[in-house]
Chain A
Amino acid sequence: MTRPAASLHLRLTAAVVGVVGLSLCAFSLALHTTFSAAIFRQFDERLAQDARAVANMVEERVGEPWEFEPGALEGFEQKDGGAYFEVWMDDGVLLARSPSLGTADLARPRSLTDTMIVGTRLPNGRTGRVFLASLPPRQDEEGPPAPSGRRVTVAVALSTAEVDATIATLRFLLWGSGLAALVLAALVGAFAIRGGLAPVGRLAGRIGVLDARRLSERLPVGDLPRELGPVVVKLNELLARLEESFGRERQFSADVSHELRTPLAGLRSLLEVASSRERPAPEYKSALGDALHVVERMSSLVENLLMLARLEAHQVRVTNEEIALHELVEESYAPLAAKASARMLLVENRIPSDTLFISDREKLRVVVTNLLANAVEYTAENGRVTVESAASPGEVLRVCDSGPAIPDEALERIFDRFFRLDSARSGTGDHCGVGLSLSHSRSVRCARPVHRCRESPRRLSNVQRPEDR
């Protein structure tokens, strides 16, 4: 078993043992107390009876010492037999004593207000209980016509040996069975708990098998106990997210290699072919010009990628200034004008010339350029692109074009790096799909993330204001 399962096992077993132990203790205690009390009550009853019997053997005599008539008193004869009694007059004069006492005495209290029953050491050395009470003598026709109402103090002591033994046996039994039950509970509990926790171990085993290469696998939910179900469901969701994320990373890596290698290949072939033989100067010139174009494309791609990397590592600072939006849009559009007219697009800048916005000029320009470039590239020919002011609070500007619309599934992904709607590449234009992603990243810093909304047949891109701190 793995570590966590063992400690859970231990905790559960300890809990079971603890609960069983506590219950057993409580039960034993209660049983013991109740039983002892009952048994001693019985014993004390017997003591009281004997005491009354002894008191009954006292006869009141008028003018003479009272007489003690021992009747049938069994058990008190044997010396050190464990049963003793003594009787005194209320003034302390000894009236009678049991034969078993011999010459010893039972303790007599100075004053006796009530019945007393106490544990004591008997004259024979054993433990016992003594009953002390002030009782009336025998009252019958042989007595004086007018009883004085005087009483005698009676002490009866009996050995508690039997009772003690019984209680001791009970205690032994309780201990014994209690411990046995505890051990049994511990063993059975441990066993049952281990069985109960086995699914956790198995699950851990299955999870351990997963790795980056097998992210398409999912953990089965069917044969799991109810408590583990939600855990596995969440794990499967996590796996799905990881799979998607890894997939995107792989895609990105493949795309980067393509995007960087293609212009390099073009450059290389261009230069190799140009230099493969003697050529007239204009041919060389043209080849060098082509080479330069390719270098420019690579350059901007590399810059974009670096910026993306830096943004994602939060290494870029934002410096704010007041920006005239209308002018910024014009600036951003300028390099795209040629392409737009080649595609016969009507591009309008409808932002009023007095609209100001505070942001990082450079980065905002890149965001806007990227949005415009995308619009110019992908709007169907003879269409229109309009740049408008914010239409709702939180927006900075909107770039709307006449379509075609972006399908819903793609909406989420258009800001992924290198994603393009045509999965095979929609053109060899100067785009490579990094633009929108860059817009997204930069926007996070200088404005809230850009999102595209689809209102057929028009597409919109909004640049939103940054969140207020």
Chain B
Amino acid sequence: MRLLLIEDYLPLVRSLSQGLREAGYAVDTATDGEVGLEHAEATNYDAIILDLMLPKIDGLTVLKRLRGDHNATPILVLTARDGIDDRVKGLDLGADDYLVKPFAFEEFLARVRAIIRRRYQSSTSTIRIGDLEIDTTARVVRRGGTPIILSAREYALLEYLAARRGQVVSRGEIWDHVYDFASEPSSNVVDVYIGYLRRKLEPVGGPKLIHTRRGQGYVFGDRE
């Protein structure tokens, strides 16, 4: 999953983006409202984390513009300001959730997961396909109870495919949702990682989970 973090306080930007990347997300950052809006309009993120007090264009305005343009990306609003009014305003303008600083990082992660889940409309944090079990909270994958070790990138890819299961996902979409600006663009890195994933998830002779649709992309699921 790919996230946009719009926050101007540098220590917070650094620690949050590091924590999120270590949790397997691709993270892009912006330190003012103008750049943040540009990124959000240009790229399809799985969630946006938005601070309200921003230079140039403030958070509520960014929120208003995104929703005004019918951008339905889930948004988690962060703020240090007092007051019910701010929270109500943020939620009414279209934010999906609200977190008051300072917060525990674990809670922050949980809320990010929750708004992404809602976007992909799954109500539980564990995805089961056949005997494959993906625990998105613990970021653990099991087959028949036995854990499967995946690298962070592999897990991120699997998580995205699973969230979109049953739908055709193009390479471009995979690229947008699993890699961030910091990644080196490469034409077949997606295919390579799909290969890695197949090797780990589909034992020889066992059911295929990742299906190729020639010319279109991939589909994740236990049916063709």
Q: Tell me the A residues contacting B by CB distance below 8 Å.
A: 253-254, 257-270, 272-274, 276-277, 287, 290, 293-294, 422, 424-428
Contacts and interface: CB of A to CB of B under 8 A. Distances in A.
Given A258-B81, A265-B80, A424 B54 contact: yes
B15 A266 contact: yes
Contacts of A272: 15, 19, 104-106
B82 A254 contact: yes
Interface stretch (B5-13, B135-143, B186-194, B209-217): B5-13
A424 B57 CA distance: 7
Contacts of B82: 253-254, 257
A292 to B, nearest CB: 11
Nearest to B10: A428
Given A254-B82, A272-B19, A261 B11 contact: no
B105 A276 contact: yes
B81 A270 contact: no
Nearest to A291: B11
Interface in B1-26: 8-12, 14-16, 18-19, 22
A261 B101 contact: yes
27 contacts: A254-B81, A257-B80, A258-B81, A262-B9, A262-B101, A263-B9, A264-B101, A265-B78, A265-B80, A265-B101, A265-B102, A266-B9, A266-B15, A267-B11, A269-B11, A269-B108, A270-B12, A273-B18, A290-B15, A294-B11, A422-B55, A424-B53, A424-B55, A424-B58, A425-B8, A425-B55, A428-B9
B78 to A, nearest CB: 8
B74 interface: no
Contacts of A262: 9, 12, 53, 80, 101
A294 B83 CA distance: 25
Interface of B: 8-12, 14-16, 18-19, 22, 31, 33, 53-58, 78-83, 100-106, 108
A265 B18 CA distance: 15
Contacts of A294: 11
Given A257-B82, A258-B80, A424-B55, A273 B15 contact: yes
Nearest to B16: A269
Nearest to A423: B58
Nearest to A275: B105
B169 to A, nearest CB: 30
A257 B22 CA distance: 30
Contacts of A290: 11, 14-15
A295 to B, nearest CB: 11
B56 A269 contact: no
B102 A267 contact: yes
Given A258-B53, A277-B22, A264 B9 contact: no
Most buried by B among A276, A277, A422: A276
A276 B104 CA distance: 12
Contacts of A270: 11-12, 14-15
Contact of B103 (A253, A258, A259, A268): A268
Contacts of B12: 262, 265-266, 269-270
A266 B11 contact: yes
Most buried by A among B8, B12, B19, B78: B12
A270 B105 CA distance: 9
> A-B pairs with the 9 shortest C-beta distances?
A265-B101, A261-B80, A266-B11, A265-B102, A273-B19, A269-B15, A272-B105, A266-B12, A424-B58
Contacts of B57: 424
Nearest to B19: A273
Contacts of A264: 101-102
A276 B11 contact: no
A426 B55 CA distance: 6
Contacts of B9: 262-263, 265-266, 428
A12 to B, nearest CB: 49
Most buried by B among A253, A290, A425: A425
Contacts of B54: 424-425
Contacts of B78: 265
Nearest to A266: B11
B37 to A, nearest CB: 13
A274 B15 CA distance: 8
A268 B102 CA distance: 7
Contacts of B10: 266, 428
Given A254-B82, A262-B80, A427-B55, 17 more contacts: A257-B82, A258-B79, A260-B80, A262-B12, A262-B53, A262-B101, A269-B16, A269-B108, A272-B19, A273-B15, A273-B19, A276-B22, A277-B22, A422-B56, A424-B53, A424-B56, A428-B9
A287 B16 CA distance: 13
B103 A265 contact: yes
Contacts of B33: 424
Nearest to B78: A265
A274 B106 CA distance: 13
Contacts of A277: 22
Given A261-B101, A422-B55, A424-B54, A269 B81 contact: no
A167 to B, nearest CB: 85
Contacts of A257: 80-82
Nearest to B105: A272
Contacts of A293: 11
A287 B15 CA distance: 9
Nearest to B80: A261
Contacts of A426: 55
B93 to A, nearest CB: 16
Contact of A268 (B53, B79, B100, B105): B105
Contacts of B19: 269, 272-273, 276
A257 B15 CA distance: 21
